[in-house]
Chain A
């Protein structure tokens, strides 16, 4: 099960990030997870929101480029070794992780991680087959 992630181009300019977050906020979009990757010249802001289309049009309006990508969000037991057991499944299937970031979970005792693998389809299959719960887009 995939969820939509928005990748947003953030020009390296004072106040840029604030303007982007503000535009989404004003349109009533709720940000569920976020990660910021940066270089000296620009940044890429990745967000998971409750309404991708609404977020995208809000960004369009202020002239910010965003692109939707499919990712998976994995439920992990909120205990020592929880993440390791998930990564072991992925690694054993010879899948590489490109990036990960944490997600606010509404379930007690569970953590959520967004996981982008070099082969998302296989990662999803391997995890599902091993009984790992993935976040359903409806839960956003």
Chain B
């Protein structure tokens, strides 16, 4: 089998646009009725659903933002009664408050289909063993991959994240053929397998890696270490989860499931839609989602779109790997980290004064290193090593519980953190991922 849903995946552009238009018009009507925030924003712009005739009117619609999910936490933006919500997922936000999304039966079906498209594109079938090494939990990664595997009739191995020895043993014993995890973890698995001399015992053929930025060089290394082809997948829980877009066998950009999600590229400063091929902020409109639909959601990812029909025959537009963010979010070991979260923790520890700090991220042996440098102050100093070590430990532990990952905390001299034009340089990202 070459496609999972050939009718949609290879639909000629004109037909696809007609389908998108119908779905958009219906979605706008439904959301205007069910979602108060959307209705208010439409009214503010003097728009009613009758003004939206098709995708040519998409640019008129109001944007939605991550902040909306926090303001209406937990269920304020859902468009169906909770009795129709079959599952929720969540992810961390900037202020420690998580965001929540919900899925109806149809939404889960659609999601499984999107992931299934990718599995088929990378050569999986009912004889495959899909090793789900993403965390199975509130994070969308695990369940997204699991449901996709089940959908194509493959055997799912829902091992979840962590415990490398057990991952490798399971991979060998159960005969995993498709590995799904973060690229940095794939790299780590590859290195461990190489050290243990077990490469020959693997049955892996393909890997589906996402949830964090990675480079072509990493792809090459993962492919070599695990003897597979490594594919990129993109997704975000606000829109659905992994599978919003995916690479096909040609590994030349990620096909957006355009029958469900309409992408736009805008100028992040003016909000103007940019012409095809231009680089800008990626915006998504979900045209089939029922439980948690979003119109023109600002992803803050910077990328561009390529509308040329792909060699694989799929007509769906391809997005390139995001080249950065419009905000200061960092993705470290697959976890979203905002400097504001770090500031809050330091404020508490520093006795209501935020010590000057700097985040240093690097990639050593293909694993992210995460260091937080904190400028020393009299408030943090004591006459004994124990006292200062305790401060270091308190900062580390508070950051770990707020962020979900623990940094190495280094106390440095006051005023030693580089400032330019009076402003401290907060983030040093040496990973060279873009």
Contacts and interface: CB of A to CB of B under 8 A. Distances in A.
A44 B413 contact: no
B383 A7 contact: yes
Interface in A88-105: 98-99
B389 A65 contact: no
B430 interface: no
A64 B414 CA distance: 7
Nearest to A65: B376
Contacts of A37: 384-385
B388 interface: yes
Given A39-B389, A42-B388, A63 B415 contact: yes
A interface residue count range (under 10 / 10 to 19 / 20 to 34 / 35 or more): 20 to 34
Q: Say whether chain B's binding surface is mostly helix, strand, loop, or mixed.
A: loop
Contact of B412 (A11, A67, A98): A11
Contacts of B376: 9, 11, 65
Contacts of B413: 9, 11, 63-65
Interface residues of B, number: 18
Contacts of B412: 11
B161 to A, nearest CB: 30
Interface string A25-50: 00000000000011101111010000
Contacts of A46: 383
Interface in B396-434: 410-416
A43 B413 CA distance: 12
Interface in A62-88: 63-67, 69
A63 B375 CA distance: 11
Contact of A65 (B381, B383, B385, B410): B381
Nearest to B413: A11
A52 interface: no
A5 B383 CA distance: 9
Nearest to A16: B413
B377 interface: yes
Contact of B381 (A7, A38, A116): A7
A24 B262 CA distance: 66
B308 interface: no
A20 to B, nearest CB: 10
A43 B230 CA distance: 46
A43 B382 CA distance: 11
Given A11-B412, A41-B411, A65 B377 contact: yes
A43 B383 CA distance: 11
Contact of A9 (B381, B389, B415): B381
B269 interface: no
A66 B268 CA distance: 46
A65 B416 contact: no
A43 B415 CA distance: 18
A39 B388 CA distance: 10
B195 interface: no
Interface string A4-16: 0101010100000
B383 A116 contact: yes
A7 B385 CA distance: 10
B411 to A, nearest CB: 6
A22 to B, nearest CB: 15
A42 B382 CA distance: 13
A98 B386 CA distance: 10
Interface string B366-392: 000000000011100111110011001
Contacts of B388: 9, 42, 44
Contacts of A63: 413-416
Contacts of A116: 383
A39 B385 contact: yes
A49 B389 CA distance: 25
Contacts of B410: 41
B378 A67 contact: yes
A67 B411 CA distance: 16
Contact of A98 (B381, B384, B415): B384
Nearest to A98: B384
B416 A11 contact: yes
B411 A9 contact: yes
Given A11-B412, A11-B416, A63-B416, A44 B383 contact: yes
Contact of A42 (B383, B411, B415): B411
Contacts of A43: 385
27 contacts: A5-B383, A7-B382, A7-B383, A9-B376, A11-B376, A11-B411, A11-B413, A11-B416, A37-B384, A37-B385, A38-B385, A41-B392, A41-B411, A42-B411, A44-B383, A44-B384, A44-B385, A63-B413, A63-B414, A63-B415, A64-B414, A65-B413, A66-B381, A67-B378, A67-B382, A67-B383, A98-B384
Q: Which 8 A-B pairs have the closest CB atoms?
A: A7-B383, A69-B383, A37-B385, A63-B415, A67-B381, A65-B376, A9-B376, A11-B413
Given A11-B413, A44-B385, A98-B384, 18 more contacts: A7-B381, A7-B382, A7-B383, A9-B376, A11-B411, A11-B412, A38-B385, A41-B411, A42-B411, A43-B385, A63-B413, A63-B414, A63-B416, A64-B414, A65-B381, A67-B382, A69-B383, A99-B384
